Structure 1
Amino acid sequence: MSKKNEVTGVDEELTVEELRALIPQLQQLTDKYKRAERIQKALLDISELASTVSHLSNLYPAIHEIIGDFMNADNFYVAFYDKSEDTINFAYFVDEYDEQTVKQVPAEKAKGGVTGYILKSGNNLVFRKNEVDSLFAKIGIKAMGEMPEHLMGVPLKRGKQTIGAMVVQTYDPKVVYTPEDLEVFSFVSQHIVTTVDRVKRSELTERTIRERTRQLREINDDLQEEILERQKVESLQQALFEISELAANLEGDMNAFYSQLHDILARLISAPNCYIAKLDESGKRLEFPYFSDTKSDSVESRRLGLGLTELVLRKGQAELVNPARVLSLAETGELDVTTAQDILKKSTTWLGSPLVVDGEIEGVIAIQSYGTQANYSNKDLELLKFVSHHIASAMERKKRTKAIQKYNQELEERVKNRTEELDNANQVLKKQIEERKEIELKLIHDAHHDSLTDLPNRAMFNSRLELAIASKQRRADNMYAVLFIDLDRFKLINDTLGHHAGDEFLIEVSKRIAHCIRGHDLLARLGGDEFVVLLDNFEDSADVEEVAARIIDAISKPFSLDGKEMYSGASIGIAHVQSHYRAADEVLRDADAAMYQAKTSGRGNYVMFDQSMRERLLEEMEMEAELRKTMRSSEFGQFVQPILSLSDQTPLYHEFYLRWEHPQMGAIAREQFRQVAEHSGLTLDLDMYQLKRACEILKSTQDENMQKLAVNVSITHLLQASLVNKIIDVIEDSGVSPSKIVFEFDENDLNRRSQFILPAIKKLKRAGVTLVLDNFGSGLASLSYLFSYPFDYIKIDHRFIKSLPRSQRNLKLIQSIMLISEHLHFDVIADGITSQSQLDALSNIGCRFGQGKLIASSTYLETTDQDLLAFSN
């Protein structure tokens, strides 16, 4: 061996000593090359694993074996961090002291150990057993499991992300991991991640391919099964079509019909033997119109027994009978023993299904096979059951075809006879149609006319009035007017003579009004005693007034009802149709307002509507709203005026009444706001208000002279028993004795409804209320009240007192009433005493009680907040 001289540059031979000195270096170099070769081989093997190993379960043992070739790796494990689950999965674990059974642990639990440190820090970890305490304290981990003599762990990284750890460890004190081992171990770990990813992808791809192959195989099997089912369905449809065609086209021999049915059925089910059994007309025997069997030529008709056919007839459903079922049927008595033995002997499998027509079982179709080669299944049973319905229908159609032919012959004859009958019926029908048309016309007439008077009704009148308004809007010179007619005393006639007389009265009124108008004018009845007239094409308003005057004159003449002579009258409101009207109701409203004005002004006349009436109506509506507001806020003035003894001036009782002083309207007369209350339906509320206030005053007053208060009450309270009870309840609830309450009823109210209120008057009397007949002498037939009603006092109307002493006639009248009072046990009160001469005249005739400004003025009562609260409660 030679070496180059560094001075001369000439190769020189080495001496033996020099060669011996070079041996360790050469040996070290040789070991280094061998180690590099092993590493290169290990990397090559790891790279080949990616293409040769298809499952991770085979990959990790192979990696273990490769690492064991160049270092001690008896104890080796690989762990990966699953971020989605936050767990550490031990993909491979081999340890001679620790048998790893848990493949997965929470990352939180493992973070304090060796594996957790490597995953968290991404650093290598190498330590000896004697370094554990100081090192673990330094890096903040703790010992888990048996401590090895030497451990070496490296992170598994994908790029810069640590995804796992690979660890080797030894429990042999003689084994030491060198820095070269750590370098090789770290180098190998970088390639292992790539290999694991490749194997995972390969494994996933293989698993996906297997799953897809399985799915495709299942889909193919399903398609094959569907193809078979479709073929079966097509065969079944074809068979059903042929059965239908057979029933429609085959004529003549029924045996040929049954034979062809057998052929069609045999294509669907193995049916070498087939028969059709039907019940005879008695339903007690079986007949066999068709029988085809390989072991028998024919079968005789027989009585019903315990055969297979009868089994289907009894249960009403398809049956599958095989040798396995025969014994149980025989044991339960469903099948004859002889039949059961025959089935067992021949190994017969039998299918039977009922032939159902119109919900009734008429027979059975059956197929059977002998021997063990052909056994029927439930699918065959279902198929026979399905086909049997169509066979039954085909048989029934065949049967009915013959019946139809016979029926058609009979029908031709019947049609001929029926045609003649229809001709006659047609004549009757034409007559009925004519009668129906007359009925329809009558219904239309009835819908637009009043049933009593046969006059047009409200609907028809409104329709004609709407046309008149439209005509007026198109041509202003067209003249139309509406007369609203209200009759007097209609209710009195109804109540005294009965509804029949009332109907006669309305019919007579309608005739009289009709004679007062022209032929093209329209007269209608709105209901009750209200009539309206639409006047068309008149020249001026004088013509309208003339018609109204004629109507009033005609109705004022006497009526003969039930043999009695009765009088009535009419109040008429007139409204001219103007261009500003938009609806019929507006015209009727104004005509009604004019009629009301006519009644208010004295009845028996007519009033032409003008704008001032509208203004008065609006004023009354405004006053109604203010009245409601005043009642809610209790802003009335409260006054009392005593009724005194004329001899010693002691009070008999005090009359309580309200005054209304409106901030804008000023003082409103009591008659005026009571009239507004009556028109707006507030009379009952106003009376109840006064009664409650009177009860509050009686309960709170300290005045010994004011122990009884009188309240003016509308007769309306006496028309219903519930209202009378309500009055009594209000008095009792207030805590005031009824004996302290006085009710004054106006005679004019009694005149209108006297026949209805006597029971109510008596009920108030029994309750202890004092009763006064107010304004006596102002109405009609006043003396009848003195005898019929239990009044405690009669208050003479102030107009009689006003005429004293100059009217001796009125003075005599008062004396007569006083004389009657002695016999009927009531007292007389003179109302409206305003002068000394009146008082003297009354005293001279012995009148005991009186009321008026002369003897006592009205007293105003203060209203406190406490009073208002008490009333509102």
Structure 2
Amino acid sequence: MFRDEQTQHSQREFELMQKRISRLKSLALKYKRAEVTQNMLLELSNLAASVSSPAEFYSGVHSYLSTLLPADNFFVALLDPLNNVLEIPFFLDEKDKHPLELFSKENISAKLLSGLTGYVLKTGKSLLCNQDKFEQLILDKQIESLGAPCHLWLGVPITVHHSVVGVLVIQSYSEQVNFTEVDIELLGFVSHQISNIMERVQHQEQLEQAIAQRTRELSVAYDKLKQEVNEKRRAELLQKSLFEIADLATSNIDTHAFYSELHRVISHLIPVSNCYIALLNDQCNQINFPFYVSQANGRAPDSRIICDGLTEYVIKNRRPLLLQNIDIQSLVSSGQIYAKTPELNNTKDIYQWIGIPLFIHEQVRGALTIYSTNKTRRYQENDLDLLTFVSQHIASAIERKLSAESLIASYEQLEDKVIERTQALALLNQDLEKEIAQRRKMEQQLVHDANHDTLTGLPNRGMFMERLSQAIKHTRRHKLDRFALLFIDLDRFKLINDTLGHIEGDRFLVETSRRLKLCIRENDSLGRIGGDEFVILLDRINGSQDAKEVAERVLTGLSEPYKLANQQFKSGASIGIAFNQHKTDTSESLLRDADAAMYQAKTNGKGCYVIFDDKSHKQLDKDIELELELRNAISNRSLLISYLPIEDLQTGETLALEPRLYWNHPSLGKIKQAKLLNIAEHCSLTTELDIFLLGTLNSEYAQLQKMSLAHLPLHINISGHHLKHKHALRHLKNKLKQSYFSSEQLWLFFDEQGFIFDTDNHINAFDLLTKLEVNLALSGYGSAHSALSSLTFLPLKGLKLDPSYPCHLDSKQHKKLLNAHFLTAQALELTVFVDGISTKQQKELMLEIGFERGQGQALGKVLRLEEVETSVCA
């Protein structure tokens, strides 16, 4: 019994021992597994630091993992958080092919995300899935079936910063291979370690990228800084070179040293072993080479006439050129260079050639050239730019050098000329003093001529009006002082000019001025303001009686006979007198008043004087009223036209028509053309009257056509006022262009007297009017005795004699004068018309002299279109 109890006790101890041994073995296995796991994790950490690619790292993970659990079917899936794409960096499976072989690259991520891998990614939890659970997940539509069926599928998430970034997957196709909780825990450790390693690798990768980026930035900054340093050094060197070039321009070294120094300065900037400078002469027809250096030690080219060399090519193109040898030979082949002078072609050994034109005195006057003969020295575009910039300063230095040399030569010539000129000046000094005295005398004479009439020596209009203005200012300051203005117009002066000629007419005016001087005091002023118009300013008179006495003396003095051309000739005068009576008087208004009074004296019968008074004012008012009425008549087209026929004196045939304006005034009656022109002259409406006439002719063109008269030439009297101003002449030209009559029908007659007084304007205007192809002629010819030579340079087609000639046919002198006019017109091939034929006898006498065309009372009836219409209607 005791033995049984002992046996039972031993049996219990043995069982306890067995249990302890089992626990110890389990603990030993667990410690060993922990040690292996720890070592594996260390190895994984070392592996992450040693591998060169992710595929190599995951392959090592699989190798270490296979030592702890069955991992024949293992893959790693990683999620790219930026674009949510699932990638598989490592894949190993017994049955399934790599997903890239099963699915397209675009669809692989979506497929994996729809399976168990995507399920672990979504849940973020480890999953041990058997076939039953797999089918349940499919039924719950949590996943889709992918790949071959397996016994067990184990997936553990990889978490970085609490975010699931991937999945570690182990599969088992055999029922003998099962995964325990320990395997899940082990795979979780591996996943955690991989996440740490991935985080460290990611951090290291970011650090390396940052270092690489910073390294690149530092490298770029260094290169930029290096470039800036080089550019600064280059700029300093360039600035130093430019200063040296500027100093050379002002140095006193000789020409050879000057160009050698230029070459030295350029050599600091760019290698110039072969270099020369070419310059053109002042005539730009010859080229010379003041500087030449060559590696071949050749001598400088000789001066030559401009030809078709390479140097001339760059000068001709006026722009910098960088040419390769092939470019040069192409220019030679195309005949652009050395076609005429092949003997100058030494370009075969040139590898590169740079030519820069030199602008001296703002013209291309030369070229700076460098070239290389081998490939060891290659010129670039930046060398061309640098040399182009420097060449501008070199050209300026050469320009200043040449100017300095020219200045020195000029100084030497100047010194010689100064000595020579000093000697000549000593001889000419006395002559110069005489010349200065003569010049002063001429200046005094010019001042006198500007203010005095050249014929009589009396003050002219300008000077007299100045004295009259001073007299008005004086009387405004001194209320009690008075003065009088006498306006004198000579009678019969025109007749004297016509009968005795210009010279005797001038003698008549000189004698008249002498007589007038005898009639006035020393403090009075006498002036000539027109052809036969004189004015007297009587200063400080006591009353109107003083002016009347002077007027009487003037009339008496001028009534004495004149001895002209050995003949006794009597004249006379009409005098208008005006006094300063109003505060508003001006020099022009007083002269106008005196002129109006003189005009009244002429109306009264000449040889008398009239004092401007209220009656004269009334007359002026009437004149102003008449002017307004005339302006209204022109604007209302109330003026009418009559047509005076110009006939053949032999046959009586009507050769042309002279349109004349007349005015049926409501109170003054019919005003003919002569008086109408006189009114227009006083009102300054002559140009408007002419324009009105031309416009009215157009309106009557249709009527003239009906009467078969529209084909006849028209003799139109035109005022010379059109020719004094550009706008008036332009207006006349435009009106002529608008005429319904052809230009050949239009004869424009300008008064000869107006031509004498304003020759230059007439000549210029005639040249312009001739372009319209109208016929130009002078009317009143013989009244002013224009020089015959003036007819030779005027584009005239005809002359119309002054109407006074037919009235003096009983005078032999007049007949001789008429005959002279006829012969002159024949010699100049001018058509002559006689005006003023009032009797049949005058017509016969004109035919005897040779005149063929004329007009007047004795020739044809004046034609009025309104009278013709009335007679036709009747």
TM-score range normalised by the length of the shorter chain: 0.3 to 0.5
TM-score, with structure 1 as normaliser: 0.45
TM-score, with structure 2 as normaliser: 0.45
